[in-house]
Protein backbone atom coordinates (compact mmCIF):
# COMPACT_ATOMS: atom_id res chain seq x y z
CA UNK A 1 0.00 0.00 0.00
CA UNK A 2 1.41 3.36 -0.96
CA UNK A 3 1.17 6.37 1.30
CA UNK A 4 -1.34 8.94 0.18
CA UNK A 5 0.06 12.10 -1.27
CA UNK A 6 -0.21 15.19 0.91
CA UNK A 7 -2.35 16.81 -1.79
CA UNK A 8 -5.02 14.12 -1.30
CA UNK A 9 -5.40 15.05 2.37
CA UNK A 10 -8.14 17.46 3.37
CA UNK A 11 -6.79 20.93 4.09
CA UNK A 12 -7.81 20.67 7.74
CA UNK A 13 -5.95 17.39 8.29
CA UNK A 14 -2.37 18.15 9.30
CA UNK A 15 -0.56 14.92 10.31
CA UNK A 16 2.63 16.84 11.11
CA UNK A 17 0.86 18.31 14.14
CA UNK A 18 0.81 14.82 15.72
CA UNK A 19 4.58 14.90 16.15
CA UNK A 20 4.57 18.25 17.93
CA UNK A 21 5.74 17.73 21.54
CA UNK A 22 2.83 19.90 22.71
CA UNK A 23 0.23 17.92 20.75
CA UNK A 24 -2.99 17.52 22.71
CA UNK A 25 -5.41 15.08 21.07
CA UNK A 26 -8.42 16.39 22.96
CA UNK A 27 -7.72 19.96 21.91
CA UNK A 28 -7.09 18.83 18.33
CA UNK A 29 -10.45 17.06 18.09
CA UNK A 30 -12.27 19.89 19.86
CA UNK A 31 -10.82 22.49 17.50
CA UNK A 32 -11.71 20.44 14.44
CA UNK A 33 -15.26 19.93 15.67
CA UNK A 34 -15.75 23.52 16.77
CA UNK A 35 -13.94 25.63 14.16
CA UNK A 36 -13.74 23.47 11.07
CA UNK A 37 -16.92 21.52 11.83
CA UNK A 38 -15.43 18.16 10.88
CA UNK A 39 -17.78 15.31 11.77
CA UNK A 40 -16.23 12.68 14.02
CA UNK A 41 -16.89 9.99 11.42
CA UNK A 42 -14.86 11.91 8.84
CA UNK A 43 -12.06 12.56 11.32
CA UNK A 44 -12.07 8.90 12.31
CA UNK A 45 -11.85 7.86 8.68
CA UNK A 46 -8.93 10.21 8.02
CA UNK A 47 -7.13 9.01 11.15
CA UNK A 48 -7.63 5.36 10.16
CA UNK A 49 -6.32 6.11 6.69
CA UNK A 50 -3.34 7.95 8.15
CA UNK A 51 -2.65 5.01 10.48
CA UNK A 52 -2.74 2.63 7.53
CA UNK A 53 -0.29 4.87 5.68
CA UNK A 54 2.03 4.96 8.68
CA UNK A 55 1.88 1.19 9.07
CA UNK A 56 2.69 0.72 5.39
CA UNK A 57 5.63 3.12 5.68
CA UNK A 58 6.87 1.27 8.76
CA UNK A 59 6.73 -2.06 6.96
CA UNK A 60 8.50 -0.55 3.95
CA UNK A 61 11.22 0.90 6.18
CA UNK A 62 11.72 -2.36 8.07
CA UNK A 63 11.88 -4.28 4.79
CA UNK A 64 14.33 -1.79 3.30
CA UNK A 65 16.54 -1.86 6.40
CA UNK A 66 16.08 -5.53 7.30
CA UNK A 67 19.77 -6.45 6.98
CA UNK A 68 20.76 -3.54 9.21
CA UNK A 69 18.08 -4.53 11.72
CA UNK A 70 19.43 -8.09 11.83
CA UNK A 71 22.97 -6.79 12.28
CA UNK A 72 21.89 -4.58 15.19
CA UNK A 73 19.97 -7.45 16.80
CA UNK A 74 23.04 -9.64 16.49
CA UNK A 75 25.19 -6.98 18.12
CA UNK A 76 22.67 -6.61 20.94
CA UNK A 77 22.74 -10.36 21.50
CA UNK A 78 26.53 -10.29 21.68
CA UNK A 79 26.39 -7.37 24.07
CA UNK A 80 23.85 -9.16 26.26
CA UNK A 81 26.11 -12.21 26.35
CA UNK A 82 29.09 -10.09 27.36
CA UNK A 83 27.05 -8.45 30.11
CA UNK A 84 26.03 -11.86 31.44
CA UNK A 85 29.64 -13.04 31.40
CA UNK A 86 30.65 -9.98 33.43
CA UNK A 87 27.86 -10.37 35.98
CA UNK A 88 29.53 -13.03 38.17
CA UNK A 89 32.95 -11.35 38.34
CA UNK A 90 31.30 -8.02 39.13
CA UNK A 91 29.20 -9.60 41.87
CA UNK A 92 32.37 -11.14 43.33
CA UNK A 93 34.12 -7.76 43.32
CA UNK A 94 31.05 -6.19 44.91
CA UNK A 95 31.03 -8.82 47.67
CA UNK A 96 34.75 -8.31 48.27
CA UNK A 97 34.35 -4.53 48.47
CA UNK A 98 31.42 -4.97 50.85
CA UNK A 99 33.59 -7.22 53.07
CA UNK A 100 36.48 -4.76 53.03
CA UNK A 101 34.09 -1.91 53.81
CA UNK A 102 32.67 -3.83 56.79
CA UNK A 103 36.15 -4.66 58.07
CA UNK A 104 37.35 -1.08 57.73
CA UNK A 105 34.14 0.17 59.36
CA UNK A 106 34.58 -2.21 62.30
CA UNK A 107 38.23 -1.19 62.72
CA UNK A 108 37.30 2.49 62.54
CA UNK A 109 34.60 1.99 65.18
CA UNK A 110 37.01 0.12 67.44
CA UNK A 111 39.63 2.83 67.02
CA UNK A 112 37.06 5.54 67.77
CA UNK A 113 36.02 3.72 70.97
CA UNK A 114 39.64 3.48 72.10
CA UNK A 115 40.17 7.19 71.46
CA UNK A 116 37.21 8.16 73.65
pLDDT tens digits, one per residue of 20-59: 999 999 999 898 888 888 888 999 999 999 999 999 999 9
Q: From CA 13, how far away is CA 3, in angstroms rounded?
A: 15
CA gap 15, 80 in Å, rounded: 38
d(CA 53, CA 27): 23
High-pLDDT (> 70) share of the chain, %: 94
| Helices 66-115 and 40-64, packing angle to 10 deg | 90
Over 46-102, what HEC string results?
HHHHHHHHHHHHHHHHHHHCHHHHHHHHHHHHHHHHHHHHHHHHHHHHHHHHHHHHH
**Is 3 exposed, middle or buried, given 0-12, 13-18 or 19+ CB atoms closer than 10 A?**
middle
**pLDDT single digits (tens) 75-92:** 888 888 888 889 999 999
pLDDT of 6 over the 60 cut: no
d(CA 73, CA 83): 15
Q: Is the pLDDT of residue 1 over 50?
A: no
Amino acid sequence: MEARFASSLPLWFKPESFTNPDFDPERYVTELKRYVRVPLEVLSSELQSHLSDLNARLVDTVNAEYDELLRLCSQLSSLAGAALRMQTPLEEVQAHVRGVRETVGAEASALARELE
